[in-house]
């Protein structure tokens, strides 16, 4: 888990939210309905019965995969309580030469200046950001990549664009 994600959960307005996977739960429900129909109607034509049994098996497999995702995967994301939304991560890579420019733009909350800083494909300096889908709030942290992993350059910087 990246350092910002560990730190962001300590903020009072953030809690751990589950990634819902609605499509998978709908597949599980369809499989359960087909399984019940297959068992409840004994005089069903064999072609329809096998189709319902196949759909029930797919639903059972989907249930197994969803449970594995929730138990072993990274199914939790930061949830912003006041905005009632999950926060999505974004990552951008920069050269260490532009570190002060990035820190100044982040501290000032200047999104235009931040967008003007030239990015690079190689991760030497990483800007991790969590924001809602409408980009009303940003939680940002600048990290340096070295042999030991990611080292924080800044603390978490919060930019609330609702207050402008």
pLDDT tens-digit profile, the chain (164 residues): 466 777 888 888 888 776 667 777 788 888 888 888 877 887 878 888 788 888 888 888 888 888 887 777 666 778 888 888 888 888 899 988 898 999 888 888 888 888 888 998 888 898 988 888 877 888 888 888 887 778 888 888 888 765 54
pLDDT digits (tens, 9 = 90+) for 47-65: 887 888 888 888 888 888 8
What burial class does residue 13 get, using C-beta atoms within 10 Å of its C-beta: 0-12 exposed, 13-18 middle, 19+ buried? Answer: middle
Domain assignments of the chain as residue spans, ordered by start = 3-16+78-163, 20-74
């Amino acid at each position: 888990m990246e350092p910002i994600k560990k730190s962001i959960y300590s903020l009072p307005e953030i809690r751990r939210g589950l990634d819902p996977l609605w499509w998978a739960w709908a597949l599980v429900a369809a499989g359960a309905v087909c399984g019940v129909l297959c068992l409840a109607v004994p005089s069903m034509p064999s072609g329809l019965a096998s189709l319902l049994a196949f759909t029930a098996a797919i639903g059972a497999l989907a249930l197994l995969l969803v449970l594995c995702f929730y138990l072993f995967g990274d199914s939790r994301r930061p949830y912003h309580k006041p905005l009632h939304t999950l926060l999505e991560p974004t990552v951008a890579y920069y050269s260490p030469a532009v570190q002060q420019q990035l820190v100044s733009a982040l501290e000032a909350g200047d999104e235009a200046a931040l967008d003007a800083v030239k990015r690079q494909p190689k991760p030497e300096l990483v800007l991790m950001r969590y924001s809602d889908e409408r980009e009303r709030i940003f939680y940002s942290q600048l990290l340096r990549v070295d042999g030991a992993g990611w080292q924080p350059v800044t603390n978490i910087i919060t930019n609330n664009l609702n207050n402008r």
